[in-house]
Structure 1
Amino acid sequence: MRSLTQSVLRWPEPEEILRQVEGWAAEQAASIPSLQRVAVFGSYGRGSAGVGSDLDLLLIDAAASGPQHERLRGWPLEQLPLSCDALVLTPREHADLLAEGSRFALELQRDARWLWPPALASEAI
């Protein structure tokens, strides 16, 4: 009688993902001085991420310009541990977004978890 063999895949724990994103952010900041802040939001920001959750990433880049799809080209998002939806904003755009009070702005304000720089990790948005 043959035994069945199976592969077991393990989804990484959220804290493991967050540590990897912190490392990625530090690497990016070392080569891109205009990067000011990095946060996760959505399920990783709320602390409700589970199997299959994607990564929602907010990059505050003082040098960002052009449409969002062009801004994303400069970031090696493929190096992140999960599939990622990213938003790249200048500091002014970020402030304007929060000031507008839209549903997205309120969710971002509530859910953002700042990962870089390390001094911001305990600070609210």
Structure 2
Amino acid sequence: MLEAVRLWSAERKREVASLQKVGVFGSYGRGTASVGSDLDLLLLDAAAEGPQHQRLRQWPLERLPLSCDALVLTPDELTALLSSGNRMASELKRDLRWLA
């Protein structure tokens, strides 16, 4: 699965110059994924703007071989999130694994 995500990420990076990194978190980031696990992605896009539902439109998540939840953040947004101390920040600090 992670190899498929790496290939998908490499294709996206060739198409979108502002895409800096793609990472997995949740069960795939922890290495505990099993049957029924979904894929949690974080796309670090320097040019991202607008609400999440608009940001996600440009990314062909349907090309991934598994259902996917994704966040598209700018580097500044990720830095702010990680320093917020909330539950999501704790989970990302623990689980986030950069693939591309």
- Describe the superposition over 1:48-97 as per-residue Cα deviations: whole angstroms up to 9, x where unpaired: 00001000000000000000000000000000110000000000000000
**What residue ranges of structure 1 are gaps of 5+ in the alignment?**
1-16, 117-125
Alignment of 1:1-125 (within 5 A): 17-116=1-100
State the percentage of identical aligned residues.
67
Structure having greater relative contact order (Cα 8 Å, sep ≥ 6):
2
Q: Which amino acid aligns with 1:68?
A: Q
What CA distance in whole angstroms lies between the structure 2 residues aligned with 1:109 and 1:69? 24
Give the number of the structure whose alpha-carbon radius of gyration is greater: 1
What CA distance in whole angstroms lies between the structure 2 residues aligned with 1:86 and 1:60? 11
Q: Which amino acid aligns with 1:60?
A: L
Q: Which amino acid aligns with 1:58?
A: L
What CA distance in whole angstroms lies between the structure 2 residues aligned with 1:44 and 1:86? 13
What CA distance in whole angstroms lies between the structure 1 residues aligned with 2:75 and 2:20? 8
The secondary structure found in structure 2 opposite 1:48 is coil
Q: Which amino acid aligns with 2:76?
A: R
Q: TM-score, normalised by structure 2?
A: 0.99
**What residue ranges of structure 2 are gaps of 5+ in the alignment?**
none
What CA distance in whole angstroms lies between the structure 1 residues aligned with 2:4 and 2:81? 27
